[in-house]
A and B are shown apart, each in its own frame.
Chain A
Amino acid sequence: MRKFIAIGLVYAIVQILIMTNLISGYFQATLVTIGINIILAVSLNLITGFTGQFSLGHAGFMSVGAYVCAIVTMRMPTIPGFILGVALGAVAAAILGFLVGLPTLRLRGDYLAIATLGMSEIIRIIFLNLEVTNGAAGLIGIPQFINWTWLFIFTVGTVLLLSNFVKSAHGRACISIREDEIAAEAMGIDTIRYKVIAFIIGAACAGIAGAIYASYFHYLEPNLFGFLKSVDVLVIVVLGGLGSLSGSMLAAILLALISTYLQSFPEIRMVLYSLILIIIMIFRPQGLMGSREISLSVFSKLGRNKLWDRFKSQKGGQ
Chain B
Amino acid sequence: MPILSVERVTKAFGGLAAVSNVSLDIIEGELVGLIGPNGAGKTTLFNLLTGIYVPDSGTINLSIDKQVIPLNGIRPHSICQKGLARTFQNIRLFKDLTVLENVLIAMNQNINYGLLTSFLHLPAYKREEEKLLHESIELLRIFDLDKKKDELARNLSYGEQRHLEIIRALATNPKLLLLDEPAAGMNPAETANLMDIIGWIREKFDLTILLIEHDMTLVMNICERIYVLDHGMLIASGTPDEVRTNKRVIEAYLGEDINNA
A→B interface (CB under 8 Å):
161, 164-165, 167-173, 175-176, 179-180, 182-192, 197, 291
Q: Contacting B80 at CB < 8 Å: which of A169, A172, A173, A187? A: A187
Decide yes or no: A173 and B108 within 8 Å by CB, A161-B119, A164-B118 being known contacts. Answer: yes
A-B contact pairs, 7 of them (CB 8 A): A169-B132, A176-B97, A180-B94, A182-B52, A182-B76, A186-B86, A189-B77
Residue of A nearest to B120 (CB): A164
- A171 to B108: give the CA distance in the assembly, Å: 10
Q: For A172, what are the chain B residues with a Cβ–Cβ distance below 8 Å?
A: 101, 104-105, 108
Q: For B138, what are the chain A residues with a Cβ–Cβ distance below 8 Å?
A: none
Q: Contacting B168 at CB < 8 Å: which of A161, A170, A173, A187? A: A187
Contact B76 A185 (CB under 8 A): yes
Contact A169 B108 (CB under 8 A): yes
Decide yes or no: A188 and B172 within 8 Å by CB, A169-B111, A172-B101, A175-B97 being known contacts. Answer: yes
Main secondary structure of the interface of B (DSSP, over half): helix
Q: For B221, what are the chain A residues with a Cβ–Cβ distance below 8 Å?
A: none
- A192 to B113: give the CA distance in the assembly, Å: 19
Q: For A191, what are the chain B residues with a Cβ–Cβ distance below 8 Å?
A: 77
Which residues in window 69-98 of B have CB below 8 A to A? 75-78, 80-81, 85-86, 88, 92-97
Contact A168 B118 (CB under 8 A): yes
Interface-central residue, B104, B108, B115, by most chain A CB under 10 Å: B108
- A197 to B97: give the CA distance in the assembly, Å: 21
Q: For B128, what are the chain A residues with a Cβ–Cβ distance below 8 Å?
A: 169
10 further interface pairs, Cβ-Cβ under 8 Å (given A169-B107, A183-B93): A164-B120, A165-B119, A167-B121, A168-B119, A168-B125, A183-B88, A185-B75, A186-B77, A188-B85, A189-B108
Contact A186 B108 (CB under 8 A): no
Contact A170 B115 (CB under 8 A): yes
- A171 to B125: give the CA distance in the assembly, Å: 13
Contact A188 B118 (CB under 8 A): no
Residue of B nearest to A188 (CB): B80
Q: Contacting B95 at CB < 8 Å: which of A179, A189, A190? A: A179
- A164 to B121: give the CA distance in the assembly, Å: 7
B17 in contact (CB, < 8 A)? no
Contact A171 B118 (CB under 8 A): yes
Q: For A197, what are the chain B residues with a Cβ–Cβ distance below 8 Å?
A: 115
Q: For A185, what are the chain B residues with a Cβ–Cβ distance below 8 Å?
A: 52, 75-77, 80
- A161 to B120: give the CA distance in the assembly, Å: 6
B106 in contact (CB, < 8 A)? yes
Q: Contacting B52 at CB < 8 Å: which of A169, A180, A186? A: A186
B54 smallest CB distance to A (angstroms): 14
Contact A179 B50 (CB under 8 A): no
- A172 to B109: give the CA distance in the assembly, Å: 12
A312 smallest CB distance to B (angstroms): 29
Q: For A175, what are the chain B residues with a Cβ–Cβ distance below 8 Å?
A: 94, 97, 101, 105
Q: Contacting A186 at CB < 8 Å: which of B50, B96, B104, B115? A: B50
Decide yes or no: A173 and B50 within 8 Å by CB, A179-B94, A183-B92, A186-B86 being known contacts. Answer: no
Decide yes or no: A186 and B118 within 8 Å by CB, A169-B113, A172-B101, A179-B96 being known contacts. Answer: no
Q: Contacting B118 at CB < 8 Å: which of A165, A190, A291? A: A165
Residue of A nearest to B94 (CB): A179
Contact A188 B109 (CB under 8 A): yes
Decide yes or no: A188 and B106 within 8 Å by CB, A169-B113, A175-B97, A183-B88 being known contacts. Answer: yes
Contact A173 B105 (CB under 8 A): yes
Q: For A165, what are the chain B residues with a Cβ–Cβ distance below 8 Å?
A: 115, 118-119
- A165 to B81: give the CA distance in the assembly, Å: 23
Report B220-234 CB contacts with A as 1/0, cut-off 8 Å: 000000000000000
Contact A184 B52 (CB under 8 A): no
Q: For A192, what are the chain B residues with a Cβ–Cβ distance below 8 Å?
A: 75
Q: For A183, what are the chain B residues with a Cβ–Cβ distance below 8 Å?
A: 88, 92-94
Contact A187 B125 (CB under 8 A): no
A272 smallest CB distance to B (angstroms): 30
B135 smallest CB distance to A (angstroms): 13
Contact A188 B108 (CB under 8 A): yes
- A186 to B95: give the CA distance in the assembly, Å: 15
- A172 to B106: give the CA distance in the assembly, Å: 10
Report B182-194 CB contacts with A as 1/0, cut-off 8 Å: 0000000000000
Interface-central residue, B86, B121, B128, B129, by most chain A CB under 10 Å: B121
B53 smallest CB distance to A (angstroms): 11
Q: For B88, what are the chain A residues with a Cβ–Cβ distance below 8 Å?
A: 183, 186
Residue of A nearest to B118 (CB): A168
Residue of A nearest to B107 (CB): A169
- A279 to B67: give the CA distance in the assembly, Å: 58
Decide yes or no: A169 and B104 within 8 Å by CB, A188-B109, A188-B172 being known contacts. Answer: yes
Contact B92 A180 (CB under 8 A): yes
Decide yes or no: A187 and B105 within 8 Å by CB, A164-B119, A182-B52 being known contacts. Answer: yes
Residue of B nearest to A180 (CB): B92
Interface-central residue, A164, A171, A186, by most chain B CB under 10 Å: A186
Q: For B92, what are the chain A residues with a Cβ–Cβ distance below 8 Å?
A: 180, 182-183, 186
- A180 to B121: give the CA distance in the assembly, Å: 27
